[in-house]
């Protein structure tokens, strides 16, 4: 709750009595003049004010207007010994939350202030929740900055985008940001999971069908591709799509036309396609599970989501973000995390990446008995906490006496590939060589 209250009255006795009455429920600030009141209001970021209508140097109405210019969402309660209907109407029209007359009923005042404070608290929660609903990529690591740069360059194009990476790394969040910041943001955003249904059903869901074209087709259905017209279509788990349907999808990507099942007509569609997968599609092509021509068609722009352990510095942004999210959801008084608990998180082996981190923080907020998450609240497996010695050894390539230059080179390239998540561009940059040279070395050493 806000719990800060500013009382403005030019009568010191009234200020002292009101402060004594209310200081058990609020952190009370008092002021006898407008200049001090404005200074306290700004400095302490106060949002709840009890203001006398008649001050010696300025009218309460004028001071209220100045306060509301600083913070329009502040709640200001006017009090006066000279209550008239005209005064009440003028105060309410000028932005007052309520108008109370002197002598003040103490219980009525307490109830009024607590109600106003709860309203402020609820407004803060709503603003915070709205902030969480705005999809964004949390973090400032080099990998995240590079992803944001790519998004800014491609968001307004029609290029097909392939987002790859392990489960829990935020692939769909990237897709949502691409759409939400693009010139298609006010158009449909439609997502379908290609692994959630068999091929025949997925085909009808994607392309639509005519009534009577198969058993159960009781009405015409336009399909999700046409439903996403002028917007963005997300094909999640694209690597699970069967080969026959891959062929039909390829034709759509080439022609930008949809022919529903059982329909003789085709329909033009303007839709941007974003494909998501945690599979290595290049390997799936080599195994014969994914069409090579479709792979090149969807892989115009490839965004690789980094593992959480590759962006561990982003914990400083992710941990407070999730604490704030679940503090509000569970209405818990959890304000942060202890240094010890945070240190353990930086050494933890996150097998489930950001999704696992979110679950850990969610559980910790729910179970925490204090205002700070401590090490015990995390409930982590000690076997998955890396010791400092092990962490340091991961930063070096092990080279032994007698290793040839070729063997040393192979180890260095293998180490760099691992640290860059298999991304050849980043690996080449980290080694200071060209991508063509790196490709040759990978083939030479069978990496």
- In 3D space, the residue among 447, 394, 440, 391 whose CA is nearest the CA of residue 422 turns out to be 447
Q: What is the CATH number of domain 4-133?
A: 3.40.50.2300
d(CA 83, CA 65): 19
Q: Alpha carbon of 280 to those of 100, 284, 417: distances in Å?
A: 69, 6, 15
Tell which wins on pLDDT, 365 or 92: 365
Of 342, 278, 354, 281, the residue nearest 316 (C-alpha) = 342
Start-to-end CA span in the chain (Å):
57
Q: Does domain 308-384 fall into CATH 3.40.50.300? A: no
Residues of the chain with CATH 3.40.50.2300: 4-133
Report pLDDT for 391.
46
CB atoms < 10 A from the CB of 79, how many?
A: 23
pLDDT tens sequence across 35-54: 899 999 999 889 999 998 88
CA angle 237, 307, 166 (to 5 degrees): 20
* Closest by CA position to 87, among listed 65, 47, 54: 54
Q: Is CATH 3.40.50.1460 correct for 142-304?
A: no
> From CA 346, how far away is CA 13, in angstroms rounded?
55
Residue 373 has pLDDT above 50, yes or no: yes
Q: What is the pLDDT of residues 242-268, one digit of tens each?
A: 999 999 999 999 999 999 999 999 999
Q: Which CATH superfamily, name and number, covers 396-444? A: Homeodomain-like (1.10.10.60)
Q: What secondary structure letter does DSSP report for 313? A: G
Cβ partners under 8 Å of residue 25, min gap 6: 3, 110, 113, 114
Res. 131: pLDDT tops 60: no
| Kind and range of the H or E run holding 317 | helix 315-330
Q: Coil, helix or strand for 6?
A: strand
User: Do 318 and 311 form a contact (C-beta atoms < 8 A)?
Assistant: no
pLDDT for the residue 411: 87
Q: Which two tokens stand for residue 200?
A: 């025949």
pLDDT tens column, 175-225: 999 999 999 999 999 999 999 888 889 999 999 999 988 888 889 999 999
> Does pLDDT of 389 surpass 70?
no
Q: Report the candidate in 424, 397, 423 with the shortest Cα–Cα distance to residue 410.
A: 397
pLDDT of 388 above 60: no
Q: Return d(Cα 385, Cα 347) in angstroms, integer.
A: 5
Burial class (CB in 10 A: 0-12, 13-18, 19+), 94: middle
Both tokens of 63, joined, read 């001071």
The residue behind tokens 């260095």 is 412
Rounded CA separation 139/47 (Å):
31
Which segments of the chain belong to CATH 1.10.10.60?
Answer: 396-444
Q: How far apart are CA 173 and CA 132, in angstroms?
A: 12
380, 344 Cβ separation under 8 angstroms:
yes
CATH 3.40.50.300 in the chain is located at: 142-304
Sign (positive or negative) of CA dihedral 280, 286, 288, 293:
positive
- Tell me the pLDDT of the chain averaged across its residues: 88
Tokens of 136: 């964004």
Q: Using alpha carbons only, how large is the chain's radius of gyration in Å?
A: 31
333 has a pLDDT exceeding 60: yes
- How do the residues of the chain divide into helix, strand and coil, expressed in percent and rounded to 5? 50, 15, 35
Cα–Cα distance, 294 to 281 (Å, whole number): 10
This prediction has a pTM of 0.61
């Amino acid at each position: 709750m806000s719990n800060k209250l500013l009382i403005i009255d030019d009568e010191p006795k009234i200020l002292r009595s009101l402060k004594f009455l209310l200081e058990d429920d609020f952190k009370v600030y008092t002021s006898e003049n407008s200049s001090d009141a404005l200074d306290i209001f700004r400095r302490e970021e106060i949002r709840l004010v009890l203001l006398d209508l008649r001050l010696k140097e300025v009218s309460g109405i004028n001071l209220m207007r100045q306060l509301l210019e600083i913070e329009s969402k502040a709640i200001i309660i006017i009090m006066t010994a000279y209550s008239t209907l005209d005064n009440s109407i003028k105060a309410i029209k000028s932005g007052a939350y309520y108008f109370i007359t002197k002598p003040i009923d103490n219980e009525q005042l307490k109830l009024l202030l607590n109600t106003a404070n709860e309203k402020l608290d609820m407004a803060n929660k709503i603003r915070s929740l709205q902030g969480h609903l705005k999809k964004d990529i949390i973090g400032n690591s080099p990998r995240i900055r590079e992803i944001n740069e790519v998004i800014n360059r491609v968001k307004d194009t029609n290029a097909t985008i392939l987002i790859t990476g392990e489960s829990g790394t935020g692939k769909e969040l990237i897709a949502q940001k691409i759409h939400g910041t693009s010139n298609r943001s006010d158009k449909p955003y439609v997502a379908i999971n290609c692994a959630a249904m068999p091929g025949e059903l997925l085909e009808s869901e994607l392309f639509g069908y005519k009534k009577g074209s198969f058993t159960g087709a009781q009405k015409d259905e336009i399909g999700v591709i046409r439903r996403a017209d002028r917007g963005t279509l997300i094909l999640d788990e694209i690597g699970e799509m069967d080969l026959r349907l891959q062929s039909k999808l390829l034709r759509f990507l080439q022609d930008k036309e949809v022919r529903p099942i059982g329909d003789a007509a085709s329909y033009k569609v303007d839709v941007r396609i974003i494909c998501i997968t945690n599979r290595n599609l290049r390997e799936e092509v080599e195994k014969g599970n994914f069409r090579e021509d479709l792979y090149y068609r969807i892989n115009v722009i490839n965004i690789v989501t980094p593992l959480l352990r590759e962006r561990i510095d982003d914990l400083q942004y992710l941990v407070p973000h999730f604490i704030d999210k679940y503090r509000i959801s569970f209405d818990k008084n959890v304000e942060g995390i202890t240094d010890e608990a945070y240190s353990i998180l930086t050494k933890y082996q996150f097998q489930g990446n950001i999704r696992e981190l979110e679950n850990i923080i969610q559980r910790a907020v729910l179970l925490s008995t204090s205002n700070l998450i401590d090490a015990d609240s995390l409930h982590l497996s000690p076997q998955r906490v890396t010791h400092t010695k092990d962490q340091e050894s991961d930063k070096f390539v092990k080279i032994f006496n007698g290793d040839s230059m070729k063997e040393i080179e192979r180890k260095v390239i293998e180490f760099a590939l691992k640290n860059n998540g298999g991304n050849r561009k980043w690996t080449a940059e980290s080694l200071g060589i060209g991508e063509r040279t790196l490709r040759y070395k990978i083939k030479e050493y069978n990496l």
